[in-house]
């Protein structure tokens, strides 16, 4: 039986391996900077089982990021690199932490009742609704948390009509990743179109759920929980045995806990 430490190492290795698969990895001491040719840029993170990270290591990486014109962004798992948060703060960055939750048997995920009028669908690589699902998620993350709000289908349509070149490029990148089996996307729909979505990134027997978001106007109805459950079911079908995700805050973590996820640690993020 895997211990919590084993799970955390598996998760840290997964985060590193997915980035190495999808981006160029440039090591700088105990840190690695990941650069994507499109659909990025990515962040820097500690190399698994690497040396202790110091404020000087952070400063060196920030200089490299500035020279390359990419965000001075860092992400990590607190428990596998306990020196990272203090080093980032000492280097002048703002550090945020987020609950890290895992489900070791994705097939055992708790299946809630699907809200009335809501339909879920796995998005294919050529699905015309992919941009709408992505627009919903972008709007959701501009209003973090679980509170309801006025942003709904009308704002989704406005966001679609004003999509930037970066939005279009990211949509193309998602289509490519879906085609190659590197991402599974689930969309939630009502009669008014897409209202939310989320993604699964599997690699071997470990998978991460990322980017689950629902339009604020349809929150507090169980839509996000339904999306997460469907992603867990897809993960189980893909042979994933350890499923994890990072929640925005404790309120969001409680939603996942009701589905069977357990908090096993925390992730960190640092930016200027």
Predicted local confidence at residue 2, as pLDDT: 72
Residue 69 is assigned to a structural domain of this protein? yes
Domain assignment of residue 73, given as a range: 4-99
Residue 148 is assigned to a structural domain of this protein? yes
Predicted local confidence at residue 126, as pLDDT: 97
Q: Over 80: is that where the pLDDT of 106 sits?
A: yes
Residues 134 and 228 in one domain: yes
Final residue in a domain of this structure, among 99, 131, 148: 99
Instruction: Work out the average pLDDT over 2-15.
Output: 94
Q: pLDDT tens-digit profile of 120-167?
A: 999 999 999 999 999 999 999 999 888 999 999 999 999 999 999 989
Residues 209 and 129 in one domain: yes
- Any residues with CB less than 8 A from the CB of 133 and at least 6 apart, and which? 123, 185, 187, 188, 194, 196, 197
Residues 54 and 121 in one domain: no
Q: CB-based burial of residue 272 (10 Å sphere; 0-12 exposed, 13-18 middle, 19+ buried)? A: exposed
Predicted local confidence at residue 172, as pLDDT: 94
Number of structural domains in the chain: 2
Rounded CA gap, 183 and 175, in Å? Answer: 9
**Partners of residue 242 on adjacent β-strands:** 206
Q: What is the CATH number of the domain that holds 114?
A: 3.40.630.30
Q: pLDDT tens-digit profile of 61-80?
A: 999 999 999 999 999 999 99
Instruction: Work out the average pLDDT over 117-122.
Output: 97
Q: Over 90: is that where the pLDDT of 19 sits?
A: yes
Residue 121 is assigned to a structural domain of this protein? yes
> 10 Å Cβ neighbour count for 56?
12
Q: Over 80: is that where the pLDDT of 258 sits?
A: yes
Residues 157 and 190 in one domain: yes
Residues 58 and 119 in one domain: no
Predicted local confidence at residue 63, as pLDDT: 97
Residues 150 and 39 in one domain: no
Final residue in a domain of this structure, among 55, 71, 99: 99
Q: pLDDT tens-digit profile of 39-66?
A: 566 899 999 988 899 999 999 999 999 9
Residues 110 and 193 in one domain: yes
Residues 113 and 233 in one domain: yes
Predicted local confidence at residue 42, as pLDDT: 80
Total residues belonging to the chain: 272
Residues 44 and 67 in one domain: yes
The pLDDT confidence band at residue 36, using thresholds 50, 70 and 90, is confident
Instruction: Work out the average pLDDT over 244-262.
Output: 95
Predicted local confidence at residue 50, as pLDDT: 86
Residue 254 is assigned to a structural domain of this protein? no
Instruction: Work out the average pLDDT over 237-249.
Output: 96
Within 13 Å, how many C-alpha atoms sit on residue 132's CB side?
Answer: 18
């Amino acid at each position: 039986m895997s211990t919590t430490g084993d799970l955390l190492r598996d998760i840290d290795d997964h985060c590193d391996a997915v980035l190495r698969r999808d981006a160029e990895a440039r090591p700088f001491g105990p840190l690695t900077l990941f650069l994507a040719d499109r659909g990025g840029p990515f962040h820097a993170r500690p190399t698994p089982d690497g040396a202790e990270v110091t404020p000087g290591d952070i400063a060196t990486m920030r200089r490299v990021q500035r020279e390359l014109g990419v965000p001075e962004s860092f992400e990590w798992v607190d428990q596998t690199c306990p020196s990272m948060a203090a080093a980032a703060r000492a280097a002048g960055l703002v550090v945020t932490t987020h609950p890290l939750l895992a489900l070791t048997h994705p097939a055992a995920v708790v299946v809630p009742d699907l809200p009335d009028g809501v339909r879920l669908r796995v998005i294919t690589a050529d699905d015309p609704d992919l941009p709408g699902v992505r627009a919903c998620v972008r709007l959701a993350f501009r209003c973090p948390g679980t509170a309801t709000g006025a942003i709904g289908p009308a704002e989704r349509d406005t966001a679609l009509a004003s999509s930037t070149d970066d939005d279009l490029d990211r949509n193309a990148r998602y289509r490519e990743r879906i085609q190659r089996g590197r991402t599974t996307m689930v969309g939630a729909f009502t009669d008014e179109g897409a209202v939310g979505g989320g993604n699964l990134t599997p690699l071997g027997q470990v998978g991460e759920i990322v980017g689950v978001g629902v339009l604020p106007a349809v929150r507090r109805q169980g839509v996000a929980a339904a999306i997460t459950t469907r992603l867990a079911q897809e993960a189980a079908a893909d042979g994933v045995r350890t499923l994890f995700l990072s929640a925005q805050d404790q309120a969001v973590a409680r939603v996942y806990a009701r589905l069977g996820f357990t908090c096993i640690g925390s992730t960190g993020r640092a930016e200027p």
